[in-house]
């Protein structure tokens, strides 16, 4: 693998992280990050959808008229999301119960449509595959970071295990305000690191 | 010679007011409340106040170090914030909870917005709102000043069981008014005594730290709306945190409008929101949320009620 191949994957991890730098997909980042388990479920689902949608869209980009490309992309994405939704409901019912609504909303997740428009529609299927994997992993990294902070502070747990015995957690951190606070501080920390 | 040639730009007339002078005056106005809280609820109240002040000062120092600013721990603003957070706490709360609240108020509500003079929301009220969302049960468990058992505040009784129960619990109207005015009732550390809050407020008025516009329009609006809706305006004014809020929180120089007309609008808004929350929401008291919401409206008020430019109509 050449350097640029590796770069195509790893750029999404940190320096072009979809949540922390591109500020895409903020709705799921705020909504499903109440626990690390949910964040991982959402992250894996998004990696699957994003990678395959990138590849398929890169393959069909030559035959889709540009006027109706967005509906075509949405059909591809919606098909993939339906697969994920049904698989989760069949094999991981508890995760499906907790974040099922947001799995369906992956259809309109702006990371996926954004990468389709900005990358897959202009690049080869191979490079789109790499981009999809990288961006998906970057999204999952951001989700797990947010979820870890919120789960430890708001529920005193990590993967369901108690972290500090005897401490009463700050319940507000697993509610919506905690999500905004955590995301704000992560964005701030990221900007601080980029500046120096 | 260099001194003689020194030319400064206007303004040439300077007031002797400074941040330390204003803040330490507020501290003096708050001291009677603290002493009364200790007398009413015991030495644990003193410990809570000390914890809040220490956390506020340490957090301010830490944030100013992190932001590479000059340390201004002696200007008293952190001390005022710490005391105000303590005034908003129920007397029986675990000692470590105020540390979290004060830290959030100081670090996030004040310094993340740019420090003294830049914060949109009153840091002490953010501390209270954060704790109310984080530890709702601890923040609404009240102890009686008489026998240290848990009990409801006057506004809590009013909300849950109605005005008749409240009157009989305090033995008649006059006795209830007296209790509310003097302050030997359950409630937050600094909110119980209307008398001492009024004394502190009038002291601040006389020293020119605050003007009458916000407290008066706030309290008048609340009293009028309560009266019109069939409630008892005197209970509405004396019970709960509205006195403390109107005199010490809503009048915060940073988070309230500049002009007198804007301040009146601000006060009316606070009164209206407090009334709405008390009357129609699930909470017995709404002072802190009302003031925070009006804090958010302050830039808008300043825009619509600007200073008249001298010489224009």
Q: Which residue of A has its CA nearest to B130?
A: A172
CA distance B290 to B276: 9
Q: How high is the pLDDT of residue B313?
A: 64
The per-residue b/e assignment along A122-146, b for 16 or more CB within 10 angstroms, e otherwise, is ebeeebbbbbbbbbbbbbbbbbbbb
**Alpha helix segments (H runs only) across A61-167:** 69-91, 93-104, 110-115, 125-155
The distance of A156 to chain B (nearest Cα, Å) reads: 13
A2 has pLDDT over 80: no
| Substitution target from B134, B139, B140 for chain A, most A beta carbons within 10 A | B134
**Which residues of chain A lie closer than 8 angstroms to B98, CB-CB?**
none
Structure-token pair, residue A181: 């606070």
Chains A, B: CB pairs < 8 Å? 15
Nearest in space to B71 (alpha carbons), one of B58, B54, B86: B58
| Substitution target from A152, A166, A172 for chain B, most B beta carbons within 10 A | A172
CB contact (8 A) between residue A172 and residue B108: no
Evaluate whether B284 touches B90 at the Cβ level (below 8 Å).
no
CA distance A1 to B257: 62
The distance of A75 to chain B (nearest Cα, Å) reads: 42
Q: How high is the pLDDT of residue B170?
A: 86
Interface of B with A in 130-149 (CB under 8 A): 130, 133-136
> Beta strands B150-151 and A161-162: pairing type?
unpaired
- Summarised one tens digit per residue, pLDDT across range B265-311 is 999 999 999 999 999 988 888 899 999 999 999 999 999 988 877 77
CA distance A69 to A60: 10
CB contact (8 A) between residue A177 and residue B133: yes
The distance of B286 to chain A (nearest Cα, Å) reads: 19
- Sorted by sequence, the CB contacts under 8 Å of residue A80 that are 6+ apart come out as A48, A49, A52, A53
CA distance A114 to A24: 8
CA distance B229 to A147: 46
Angle at B42 between CA B36 and CA B43, to 5 degrees: 105
Evaluate whether A115 touches A131 at the Cβ level (below 8 Å).
yes
Evaluate whether B59 touches B103 at the Cβ level (below 8 Å).
yes
Strand partners, A158: A161
CB contact (8 A) between residue B108 and residue A181: yes
B226 has pLDDT over 90: yes
Q: Which residue of B has its CA nearest to A182?
A: B108
Angle at B148 between CA B146 and CA B153, to 5 degrees: 75
CB contact (8 A) between residue B134 and residue A170: yes
**Which residues of chain B lie closer than 8 angstroms to A175, CB-CB?**
133
**Which residues of chain B lie closer than 8 angstroms to A170, CB-CB?**
100, 134-135
Q: What are phi and psi of A86, to 5 degrees?
A: -70, -40
Q: Which residue of A has its CA nearest to B137?
A: A171
Q: How high is the pLDDT of residue B310?
A: 78
- Summarised one tens digit per residue, pLDDT across range B42-85 is 899 999 999 999 999 999 999 999 988 888 888 889 999 999 99
CB contact (8 A) between residue A175 and residue B133: yes
- Summarised one tens digit per residue, pLDDT across range A6-59 is 888 888 888 888 888 888 888 888 988 988 998 999 999 999 999 999 999 999
CB contact (8 A) between residue B108 and residue A168: no
Q: Which residue has the higher pLDDT, B16 or B170?
A: B170
Q: How high is the pLDDT of residue B72?
A: 84
Q: Which residues of A touch B (CB under 8 A)?
A: 168, 170-173, 175, 177, 181
CB contact (8 A) between residue B133 and residue A168: no
CA distance B122 to B214: 15
- Summarised one tens digit per residue, pLDDT across range A64-77 is 998 999 999 999 99
Structure-token pair, residue B230: 């069939």
Three-class SS of residue A157?
strand
Q: How high is the pLDDT of residue B143?
A: 85
The distance of B164 to chain A (nearest Cα, Å) reads: 36
Across B106-168, the runs of DSSP E, i.e. the strands, are 142-143, 150-151
What's the average model confidence in pLDDT over A118-131? 91
CA dist B159 → A112, B163, B240, B242, B271 (Å):
50, 8, 12, 16, 18
At how many degrees (to 10) do helices B260-280 and B287-304 cross?
150
Q: What is the DSSP letter of B141?
A: -
CB contact (8 A) between residue A171 and residue B100: no
- Sorted by sequence, the CB contacts under 8 Å of residue A157 that are 6+ apart come out as A35, A151, A163, A169
**Which residues of chain A lie closer than 8 angstroms to B108, CB-CB?**
181
The distance of B133 to chain A (nearest Cα, Å) reads: 5
Structure-token pair, residue B18: 């400074």
What's the distance, Cα to Cα, between the start and end of chain B in Å?
45
Q: Confirm or reject contact between B203 and chain A (CB < 8 A).
A: no
B16-20, B117-121, B274-278: least confidently modelled range: B16-20
Q: Which long-range contacts (CB under 8 A, 24 or more apart) does A88-93 make?
A: A88/A41, A88/A45, A92/A41
Angle at B258 between CA B302 and CA B204, to 5 degrees: 150
pLDDT band at B5 (very low <50, low <70, confident <90, very high): low
Nearest in space to A193 (alpha carbons), one of A21, A76, A45: A21
Q: How high is the pLDDT of residue B198?
A: 94
Nearest in space to B249 (alpha carbons), one of B123, B102, B148: B123
Highest mean pLDDT: which range of A49-53, A94-98, A158-162, B147-151: A49-53
CB contact (8 A) between residue A175 and residue B108: no
Q: Which residue of B has its CA nearest to A172?
A: B134
Global pTM value: 0.86
DSSP H or E run through A162: strand A161-162
- Summarised one tens digit per residue, pLDDT across range B165-207 is 888 888 888 899 998 999 888 989 999 999 999 999 999 999 9
pLDDT band at B95 (very low <50, low <70, confident <90, very high): very high
CB-based burial label for A16 (10 Å; 0-12, 13-18, 19+): middle
Q: Confirm or reject contact between B108 and chain A (CB < 8 A).
A: yes
CA distance B56 to A20: 31
Evaluate whether B279 touches B227 at the Cβ level (below 8 Å).
no
pLDDT above 70 covers a percentage of chain B that reads: 96
Domain spans, chain A: 3-191
CA distance B58 to B131: 19
CB-based burial label for B269 (10 Å; 0-12, 13-18, 19+): buried
């Amino acid at each position: 693998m050449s350097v640029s191949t590796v770069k195509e994957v790893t750029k999404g991890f940190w320096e072009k992280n979809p949540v922390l730098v591109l500020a895409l997909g903020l709705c799921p980042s705020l909504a499903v990050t109440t626990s690390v388990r949910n964040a991982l479920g959402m992250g894996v689902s998004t990696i699957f959808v994003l990678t395959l949608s990138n590849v398929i869209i890169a393959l069909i980009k030559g035959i889709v008229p540009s006027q109706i490309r967005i509906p075509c992309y949405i059909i591809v994405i919606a098909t993939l999301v339906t697969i994920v939704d049904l698989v989760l409901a069949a094999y991981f019912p508890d995760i499906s119960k907790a974040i099922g609504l947001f799995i369906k909303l992956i259809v309109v997740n702006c990371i996926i449509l954004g990468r389709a428009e900005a990358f897959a529609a202009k690049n080869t299927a191979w490079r789109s595959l790499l981009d999809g994997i990288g961006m998906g992993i970057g999204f999952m990294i951001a989700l797990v970071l947010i979820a870890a902070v919120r789960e430890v502070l708001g529920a005193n747990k990590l993967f369901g295990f108690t972290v500090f015995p005897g401490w009463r957690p700050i319940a507000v951190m697993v509610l919506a305000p905690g999500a905004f606070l955590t995301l704000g501080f992560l964005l701030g920390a990221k900007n601080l690191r980029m500046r120096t | 010679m260099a001194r003689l040639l020194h030319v400064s730009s206007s303004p040439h007339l300077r007031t002797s007011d400074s941040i330390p002078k204003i803040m330490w005056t507020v501290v003096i106005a708050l001291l009677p409340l603290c002493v009364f809280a200790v007398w009413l609820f015991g030495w644990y109240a003193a410990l809570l106040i000390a914890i809040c002040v220490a956390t506020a000062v340490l957090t301010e120092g830490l944030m100013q170090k992190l932001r590479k600013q000059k340390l201004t721990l002696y200007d008293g603003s952190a001390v005022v914030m710490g005391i105000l957070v303590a005034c908003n706490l129920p007397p029986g709360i675990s000692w470590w909870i105020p540390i979290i609240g004060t830290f959030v108020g100081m670090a996030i509500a004040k310094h993340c917005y740019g420090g003294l003079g830049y914060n949109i929301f009153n840091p002490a009220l953010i501390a209270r709102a954060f704790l109310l969302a984080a530890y709702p049960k601890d923040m609404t468990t009240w102890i009686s000043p008489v026998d240290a058992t848990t009990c409801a505040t006057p506004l809590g009784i009013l909300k849950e069981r109605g005005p008749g129960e409240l009157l009989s619990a305090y033995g008649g109207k006059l006795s209830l008014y007296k209790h509310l005015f003097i302050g030997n009732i359950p409630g937050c550390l600094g909110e119980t005594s209307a008398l001492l809050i009024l004394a502190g407020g009038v002291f601040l008025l006389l020293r020119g730290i605050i003007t009458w516009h916000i407290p008066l329009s706030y309290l008048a609006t609340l009293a009028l709306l309560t009266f019109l809706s069939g409630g008892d305006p005197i209970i509405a004014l004396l019970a709960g945190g509205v006195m403390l809020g109107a005199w010490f929180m809503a009048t915060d120089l940073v988070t309230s409008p500049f002009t007198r007309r804007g301040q009146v609008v601000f006060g009316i808004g606070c009164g209206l929101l407090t009334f709405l929350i008390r009357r129609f929401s699930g909470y017995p008291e709404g002072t802190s949320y009302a003031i925070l919401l009006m804090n958010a409206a302050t830039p808008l008020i300043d825009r619509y009620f600007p200073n008249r430019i001298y010489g224009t109509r």
